[in-house]
Structure 1
Amino acid sequence: MNRKQLKGLVAGGVSALALAAAGQASAVDFVAGDTTFTLYGYAIGKMSYDLNENIGDATGGSFGPLTDDEYAEGYTDLDASQSRIGFQVTSDMNGDPVVTRIEGDFRGGSGVESTGVGQFRLRHAYGSWNGLLAGQTWSNYNSFVGTTAKLDFGGLAGDAGYQSRLAQFRYTVGDFSVAVEDPVSDIAFGDGSAPTGSFGEKDSLPALTARYEGSAGNAGYSIGGIVRQVEDNAEEDSVTGYGTFVAGSYDFGAVSLQGVLNYVDGAGSYLYRSGAPDAYWQDGDLETVSAWGGTVGVSVDAGPGTINLSYGRTDVDDAEEFGADEVHENAFLNYMWQPVENVTYGIEYAYYSADDMDGEKRGDANRISVAAQYVF
């Protein structure tokens, strides 16, 4: 499997072993008149070995467990909960197709140690026609243009935008799209000066997002923005948050480069894998949290497969004011190949590291993973 074939498997997900969108050649199609029913999905088995502390199940690692304390080392896990199934119905309406899609996996309630199987989780449920989409799907404040293929389902700290799915209404014209989305909010305790009765968040307005994404020759690019309100549940104070990202890739032939750069102020929830809140209490007022993040990666065709090397980092300002980690960073080196059509194998080394709110090393860890994916 060369790099171009591999990129076909990176389908709206931070995992390189994600299925391409409904309609790819390996999906099963049933046609009746002007309507096409597409069934698609995959089964996947993953195994991980954590050389240090246990940083998560085999599907993907996390920053939370990292510590420099001398705990037991060496953990093995096997997992199949990333397995996925979905269907899409496309009806031709005089050249303007009506598309309905529902998809889920088994990551809901994942980490059920007794069985190794999570609960079914809804990923996508939407309809679209004539440029208008309504339902749940990838946030419009999101892009995979700068993504480098990886086995770890969590992916790189600092990947472009929100990197998950939200309920929304979206309108798309050509390469430009705007959306109102279900907001994601997090207000930190800060110095404890929140007014009496003001605990938690209140979502008064949806988040407003915009994105422009396209290509020019061998280059791909994406730029996105978000504006949102952050308000406490007692309506004592509110602030405006915003964020932006740029993502790009360039294909040289047997080699490609990918990269992302993000900045947020009052939208820390949208900086992927940063752990940052949107705002915090200080002297009785809400103060916004500013942070940045980014990734860089390279993919190289090698033999029957592809070598992928990538690095990501987030950096949160004034983290000591609200007790969050200042820095999250991780890196992945993997090799993936396709021995026969619809079967993909991979092996990966992963490194995770976190600095605490004072900028001191909280911990780091190393992991080896393997995966086998069977697509239908």
Structure 2
Amino acid sequence: MRAKFQLLLLSAAIAASSMAQANGVSEVEQLRQEVQELRQLVQQYGEQQRLTQHQVQTVQNQVVMPKTEAQKKPSGLGLTVGGAEVKLYGNVRADASYQVQGGPDARPYNQIANVPLEGERAYKDRFKSTLAATRLGLDFKAPVNDANVAGKIEVDFLGSGDALRIRHAYLTYNDWLVGQTWSNFAVPDYIPDTVDAMTYTGGAIKRTPQIRHTTKFSPDTNVVVALEDPKDSSSNLRLPALTARLNHKVLDNMQVGVRGMVNEKRTDADTSTAWGVGVGTKIDVTPNTTLKADYYHVKGDGSFILSTNAGFAQDADQNIVAENEFDSIILGITQKFNEQWRGTLGYGYMQADNNDNYLQTATGNLNKELWQTWANVFYSPSKPVSFGVEYTMGERETFSRPGQPSRTGEDQRVNMVAVYSF
């Protein structure tokens, strides 16, 4: 294009020279002015061309660079399925125990509420093992307009006969949760470390179908309210249990959880109201020393807390005669020795009230007191691998009733675990 303009300029100059000879000096001056104007136009055109090329390059960079950055950006949870980001996790877990004396169950887990009493058949010197606590899970996260939508599915093999069972299955939408997960009342947050997958007396690891809402007042304080199905086989469910939990970070090294529960209990002929309260705390005494404690007081319900008597007693006409009431506590201290070694000392206790009406109507051996203590050590040679060994001992004491004197039974085991997490 520039060559054409240069040729035009040369032609104009030749023409100007010829016309000057024919028409005189004044016409030559006029032609010189016109040539000068033409030269300026050529320069302006060249400048416009350079500006246009620069603008095009800038636009191309603006379009291409964001795509390049997006390609380099981490993909969050990794795998994408149906528009949702998905993370696969889980573990392979082998549990074993040498039972000096304890319960009849073939699995190597806590059975303190059912260990044989004096005069009953003893289950001594037995080795037990299982891989049924192995679990698989999927976390989901999906963009839906401006909402935070997520979900979880987690299973293990602790169903009847080592069958697959649901541990967690729920979806969340902003501050709402619908599905099955840890009970809002019986939370495992304040249970000290145990090798035993079913934890010990005073602990609670209940998972229930529920719908719940979380209200956040500050980064340190929130309130969770839920309607739950407690899955209490002794009661004909008409209304779900109402639970509430306040979580508060008191100090940088201390958090507290306060919980409450109300639940209707119902037979074909009668109803009663069960209730309970719970308080738990976790304190980092030092960066390597953690103290946990959890306390419950419950009346009329035996479905939320481990190792308790039935929530209520009924007569032959299915009238609710009396309710069981109990207190329980579990506490322990965990010491981290280094990046590979840590250990825990713990104690759990449950005591039921001496209610004559309940004792006279309820059937079976009713536990008055249960206690367990344990000590363990965990070794993690690398991040995904952990080995643990634990010694536990405990005792069960029943109520004394007419024709049925108080008796005791003992639990004494060495538990072992090997876990590979991914």
- TM class by smaller structure: 0.7 to 0.9
Equivalence for 1:10: none
Superposed, 1:14-93 pairs within 5 Å as 29-31=78-80, 35-63=84-112, 64-69=114-119, 71=122, 73-93=124-144
Q: CA deviation at 1:331?
A: 1.7
Mean Cα deviation higher: 33-42 or 83-92: 33-42
The share of aligned pairs that are identical, in percent, is 23
Residue correspondence of structure 1 range 109-258 to structure 2 within 5 A: 109-110=160-161, 118-159=162-203, 162-174=204-216, 175-185=222-232, 187=234, 201-215=235-249, 216-232=251-267, 234=268, 236-253=269-286, 254-258=288-292
Q: State the Cα distance separating 1:183 from its structure 2 match.
A: 3.3
The aligned amino acid for 2:232 is S
Distance across 1 between alignment mates of 2:254 and 2:123: 46
Q: Does residue 1:344 correspond to 2:411, yes or no?
A: no
What pairs with 1:316-327 in structure 2 (closer than 5 Å)? 316-317=352-353, 318=355, 320-321=359-360, 322=362, 323=364, 324-327=366-369
Greater CA radius of gyration, 1 or 2? 2
Taking the aligned partners of 1:340 and 1:206, their CA distance within structure 2 comes to: 44
Contact 2:150–2:173 (Cα < 8 Å) also in 1: yes
Deviates more, 1:78-87 or 1:144-153: 144-153
Query: 1:179 offset after TM fit, Å?
Result: 0.8
Counterpart residue number, 1:97: 148
CA 1:130–1:28: 2 relative to 1, 3 Å: closer
Q: Residue 117 of structure 2 aligns to which amino acid in structure 1?
A: T
Closer, same or farther: CA 72–293 of 1 in aligned 2, 3 Å:
closer
Q: CA deviation at 1:289?
A: 1.7
Q: For 1:120 and 1:128, locate their aligned partners in 2 and report how far apart those are by CA, in whole Å.
A: 24
Q: How much does 1:95 deviate?
A: 4.8
Q: Do the aligned residues in 2 keep the contact of 1:54 with 1:75 (CA within 8 Å)?
A: no
Given the alignment of the two structures, is residue 372 of structure 1 paired with residue 422 of structure 2, yes or no? no
Q: Quote the offset at 1:35 in angstroms.
A: 3.3
Partner of 2:372: 330
Alignment of 1:309-320 (within 5 A): 309-317=345-353, 318=355, 320=359
What's the secondary structure of 2:157's corresponding residue? Answer: strand
Kindly indicate whether the alpha-carbon contact (under 8 Å) linking 1:143 and 1:163 is maintained by their aligned counterparts in 2.
yes
C-alpha distance in structure 1 between counterparts of 2:202 and 2:421, whole Å: 29
Secondary structure of the residue aligned to 2:97 is strand
- Cα distance change on mapping 1:59 and 1:237 into 2, 3 Å: same
* Equivalent-residue separation in structure 1 for 2:192 and 2:320 (angstroms): 40
Q: Secondary structure at the match of 1:60?
A: coil
Instruction: Determine if contact 2:115/2:411 at 8 Å carries over to the other structure.
Output: no
Query: What stretches of structure 2 of length at least 5 have no aligned partner?
Result: 1-75, 217-221
Q: Which has the higher helix share?
A: 2
For residues 95 and 330 of structure 1, do their structure 2 counterparts lie closer, same or farther at Cα, with a shift above 3 Å needed?
farther
Gaps of 5+ in 1: 1-26, 111-117, 188-200
Using a 3 Å threshold, how does the CA distance of structure 1 residues 245 and 53 change in structure 2: closer, same or farther? Answer: closer
CA distance in 2, matches of 1:205, 1:286: 21
Report the TM-score when normalising by structure 1.
0.80
Q: Secondary structure at the match of 2:359?
A: helix
What is the CA-CA distance between 1:335 and the residue it aligns to? 0.1
Contact persistence 1:102–1:125 (CA under 8 A): yes
CA distance in 2, matches of 1:361, 1:255: 38
- Quote the Cα distance in structure 1 between the aligned partners of 2:91 and 2:223: 31
Q: Which amino acid aligns with 2:125?
A: G
1:263-316 CA distances to partner (integer Å, 9 max, x unpaired)?
011123223222x21211369543222111011111112253111011111111
* Letter matched to residue 176 of structure 2: L
Match of 2:303, SS?
helix
Superposition deviation, residue 353 in structure 1: 1.5
Q: Which has the higher strand share?
A: 1
- Aligned-CA RMSD value: 2.3
Cα pair 2:278 2:294 within 8 Å, conserved: yes
- Residue 80 of structure 1 deviates from its aligned partner by 0.5
Deviation at 1:93, TM superposition (A): 3.1
